[in-house]
Structure 1
Amino acid sequence: MRLSGIKSSRLSQLPRRVRSIQPSQDDDVFANSLRKTLEAHRASNRARLIRKTYPRAPSPGLFRPYIRPENRAGYQPPPPPSLQLTPPAIGPEKAASARKRSRRRTPEPSTYSTDARPETNAIRSVDVGSGRLGQTPWLSYLTNEGVPGDASAYLDAEIQALHRYLAPSSDEQNRVTQLSAEVSALLESTVPHTPTLVGSRRTGLALAHSDLDFLLPFEDLPRALDKNRRPSPTRPQIRDAHLTLLRQVEKTLQNAPAFRNGVRLSGKRSLALEARHRPTGLLLQFYCGERVPAFTEYLQDYLVEYPSLRLLYTTTRALLEAGALFGSSQAGISPDALAMLLVAFLKMNHGRFPGPHRLGDQLLAFLQLYGRDVDLQSVGVAVDPPGFFDAGILRMNNGPEDSAYLRGQRSLVAAKRTAAARGNLPASRRLCVQDPTHYMNDLGRSCTRTPELQSVFATAHEQLRSACDNWEGSREDSSILTKALQARFDGLEKMREQIVHPQSS
């Protein structure tokens, strides 16, 4: 049935109320869900605005520790020689691309260094296969008067003698004091405030060849003490200001003959300026901050509470230096992390070793705890309160009264779990020591050779225990401690000679 002309014209003049809805061609639009549409748009915007990039070459001055091939992500053991096949021949274009990929994956480490004398040569291990015995220069500092005749007391006397030998002498301390005054005078017109000595030279844990750490006081007015909510001390504005000040110090030191060609600015997490003093060979490090770090005062308090801390630190540091496991440059344990391992041990064993001549027993218990009893690859060490933590222990402590130190431990465990998920095995197995003054900070971050660290502790414990069991009495040349150290001190003696009698720059 057809409509008449009048009705047809009237219908053509009516507005079209019904329109056909075409299916959307945009994957980010969900016709039946506003929530899904918004989430899809947010994800799309984030993907367009934020893109993670990986530089092909390391940044200048950035230190990357050597990682063994078996610890790298995606490592697969090679097949036996009998099963290895001859690789097929490839064209020149594919060979060039393969070499390019190889260079991109394993960039060569930077060879630039400020070292005029490598610190690793201070205390060196003796090759067991060579048949050479370790040196025992600390025996000349041994006082046998009043020492009982048992092995534990003799080991106690040796630990004290080793500390007296490695501690700075009066001449070396005078030279360090003179160098500090020279640095302050040199930077008087460059820095707004006089540099402050911090680190081991301030706490009293320094050995004769230890570095000199200087704090450059930097006044941050927005972080005044009368503010209720202070801004972050690591915000970009202050970091740029610290970098500017360190650049000025770097320029001043480069112009000084004693530091020329021996200054380097480095640091990924925290800016630091390293300068090698050529006449004495000592390494100086400069940092920026508002005041002396709280960690320094914290450590000084525990040195007063636990007098054995200083002597045990000297012995364990010498042990680790001989094994090339001390310092971030060796991918080993840092001085602060080692000190906190000892503090945690002493706090967990408070009152266990009463009476005199117990340093040997404490050293053996320390080596057994961190060498055999716990797995430092999977658990973290807490100092305040003392103990160990991992994911399982933290789940048990997940109560309503969540404290700051528990939140920090969860953060540190989550960082290791994330590294494992990304295939970064060295970071997931690194040493974890919670900073008692900043619960989110990991003092053991630099130590990625945790299995080797525990192996050194376990071997030293076994050797010392065997030496104590077979000890036959004190003689003029007898030593129990040398069974574990097995080190030579020629490099250290040369360094100490250079400190007392500086070379002309």
Structure 2
Amino acid sequence: MLPTVRCSNARLCSARFFHSSPIIGKDVFANSLRKTLDAHRSTNRARLIRKLYPKEDPPGLWRPEIPPQSRAGYEPPVDPTPTPESQDIPRPELGVKKRRKQDSKQKPLGRELLQHEDAIQPAGKAPAQTPWLKNHALPRASAEIALDTEIRALTQYLTPSVEELSRLEKLRTEVASLLEGVVPHTPKVIGSRRTGLVLAHSDLDFILPFEDLPRSPERDRRPSPTRPEIQDGHIRLLRQVERTLQQTAAFKDQVSLSDKRNPSLSARHRPTGIWLQFYCGEGIPAITEYLQDYQAEYPSLKPLYAATRTLLEARGLFGAPQASIGPDALAMLIVAFLKMNHGRFPASDSLGDQFLALLQLYGDGIDLQNVGVAVDPPGLFGVDTLVPLRNQEAAYQRGQRSLVNAKRTAAAKGNALVANRLCIQDPTHYMNDLGRSCTRTSELQGAFAAAHEQLRRACGDWAVNPKKSSSILTSVLQARFDALEHLRHQIVSL
């Protein structure tokens, strides 16, 4: 029996009893001290330990967005038939909490939801536009020469003017000043505005230098730049930038953090309509220098890039938000074509022939769903082209084997998106796939094949009657440039 405790001070006893567990109760076993102690431990543990659910997901955790119609218990909304009586009754005001809940549901989660309209749009039933021919007259010598002139005129039209470049330089300075004190180092411009493949509506890409001391160049073996602790640091830095931009009128409600595998931040500058992209890394990506060198070696790279990108944009097949090929991947796809056909087009006015050959190769020449494209050394690779595994296998061959095995494994698991996606080996990192974002490979190849047929037919019609049509390229592009003109007017008017 437990001894009875007497206390002369009632106030002290009540305080002690309040802070202690009750002596007599269901947790006390008179004949077993062990059961009594275990019961008390269990009770105390239940009082002290409880589950906590964070309001925000931890860094690096990616949750797929499940549409409402795919969730359990979903019932399609039924629109009630309005009656004269119900139309006269005013709707009650929503409460503050309910309004906030609805506003949070409508918050954009990615760039594709923030995008209002594309700069280059399909013509549809409206007549196609040819703004690049405003100050150009096509030669009547041959269809190929006329097409060469059109591609050069299109490139010149899409190249930003001096006023546009000056305004974007001011925007770069404003962003650097805005992020001063938020990021440890000044953001650096990367992407097409650094490589020289810039078009009037190209994004303004920034790299936020992020120090990774274990990856010092002096070390022989360096850890992976995408290890979890570095990715978490990248996400934290991008979130700081996101909060800073959201507090400004120029970017408010136009900022989104996306793609947790390779985190990036998208922001739309309201006054100009230009998209800004922020990435984290150790410095300027190596692919920037590669593209600069390729342009010096192949002057036709930018004209072919401008024409091919316009072709894809007019069909909604360009960029990661469209689940299609991105700027760097498209540039490398064209570089691979130029390197594989080195010396085939010696004439200075052969852009028309090169464009036709490019569309034929990637439209009907190969199967882009099952064949990978290599840039350095140039060529095609797949299951049938890989040599047997050897001890002294070259680095690019190991990379190609890894990329092919990834597609093969995805096919075995029934993952058709990964198995059939576009594969372009990165010349700066043989294990990297530049075409990873493009899962609409069959549509991409179909667009190339259809464009080649249309362009070949238009060249034939031009050869028969050059006066009948004022443009050859229009039959392929079938695009309107009203949104692009509006965007350029916004840029120069500020």
* TM-score higher than 0.5: yes
Size of the alignment, in residue pairs?
404
What's the CA shift string for 1:325-357, capped at 9, x where partnerless? Answer: 000111111111111110000000000001221
**Of 200, 203, 210, which aligns to 2:202?**
210
What's the CA shift string for 1:176-203, capped at 9, x where partnerless? Answer: 1110000011111111211100001111
**3-state DSSP class of the match of 2:384?**
helix
**3-state DSSP class of the match of 1:142?**
coil
1:137 aligns to 2:137 (yes or no)? no
User: C-alpha separation between the residues in 1 aligned to 2:199 and 2:114?
Assistant: 16
| Structure 1 range deviating more: 299-308 or 412-421 | 412-421
Question: TM-score scaled by structure 2?
Answer: 0.77
Asked if structure 1 preserves the Cα contact closer than 8 Å seen for 2:110 and 2:258, the reply is no
Asked if structure 1 preserves the Cα contact closer than 8 Å seen for 2:108 and 2:114, the reply is no
What's the CA shift string for 1:186-228, capped at 9, x where partnerless? Answer: 1111112111000011111121111111011122222222112
Alpha-carbon spacing, 1:201–1:99, altered in 2? closer, same or farther (3 Å): closer
Name the structure 2 match of 1:408: 399
Asked if structure 2 preserves the Cα contact closer than 8 Å seen for 1:276 and 1:284, the reply is yes
Question: TM-score scaled by structure 1?
Answer: 0.75
**3-state DSSP class of the match of 1:121?**
coil
Q: CA deviation at 1:236?
A: 2.2
User: C-alpha separation between the residues in 2 aligned to 1:424 and 1:157?
Assistant: 44
Give the letter for the 1:121 counterpart: D
Asked if structure 1 preserves the Cα contact closer than 8 Å seen for 2:61 and 2:260, the reply is no
Name the structure 1 match of 2:168: 176
Name the structure 2 match of 1:383: 375
Over aligned residues, Cα RMSD in angstroms? 2.6
User: C-alpha separation between the residues in 2 aligned to 1:411 and 1:441?
Assistant: 9
**3-state DSSP class of the match of 2:421?**
coil
Alpha-carbon spacing, 1:307–1:289, altered in 2? closer, same or farther (3 Å): same
User: C-alpha separation between the residues in 2 aligned to 1:125 and 1:169?
Assistant: 24
> What are the residue-to-residue correspondences of 1:189-208 with 2, within 5 Å?
189-208=181-200
**Of 259, 283, 286, which aligns to 2:251?**
259
Name the structure 1 match of 2:115: 118
| Structure 1 range deviating more: 343-352 or 486-495 | 486-495
Alpha-carbon spacing, 1:180–1:62, altered in 2? closer, same or farther (3 Å): farther
Name the structure 2 match of 1:250: 242
Give the letter for the 2:128 counterpart: G
User: C-alpha separation between the residues in 2 aligned to 1:62 and 1:303?
Assistant: 40
User: C-alpha separation between the residues in 2 aligned to 1:99 and 1:165?
Assistant: 48
Consecutive unaligned residues of structure 2, counting only runs of 5 or more, are: 1-59, 76-104
Alpha-carbon spacing, 1:119–1:60, altered in 2? closer, same or farther (3 Å): farther
User: C-alpha separation between the residues in 2 aligned to 1:441 and 1:120?
Assistant: 31
User: C-alpha separation between the residues in 2 aligned to 1:134 and 1:65?
Assistant: 38
Asked if structure 2 preserves the Cα contact closer than 8 Å seen for 1:61 and 1:264, the reply is no
Alpha-carbon spacing, 1:260–1:109, altered in 2? closer, same or farther (3 Å): closer
User: C-alpha separation between the residues in 2 aligned to 1:492 and 1:203?
Assistant: 22
1:289 aligns to 2:261 (yes or no)? no
> What are the residue-to-residue correspondences of 1:36-435 with 2, within 5 Å?
100=72, 112-114=109-111, 118=115, 121-127=118-124, 130=125, 132-142=126-136, 144=138, 147=139, 149-394=141-386, 396-435=387-426
User: C-alpha separation between the residues in 2 aligned to 1:148 and 1:248?
Assistant: 58
Q: CA deviation at 1:385?
A: 0.8
User: C-alpha separation between the residues in 2 aligned to 1:222 and 1:377?
Assistant: 38
Asked if structure 1 preserves the Cα contact closer than 8 Å seen for 2:114 and 2:254, the reply is no
User: C-alpha separation between the residues in 2 aligned to 1:247 and 1:258?
Assistant: 17
Q: CA deviation at 1:447?
A: 0.8
Alpha-carbon spacing, 1:452–1:497, altered in 2? closer, same or farther (3 Å): same
> What are the residue-to-residue correspondences of 1:473-488 with 2, within 5 Å?
478-488=470-480
User: C-alpha separation between the residues in 2 aligned to 1:419 and 1:115?
Assistant: 26
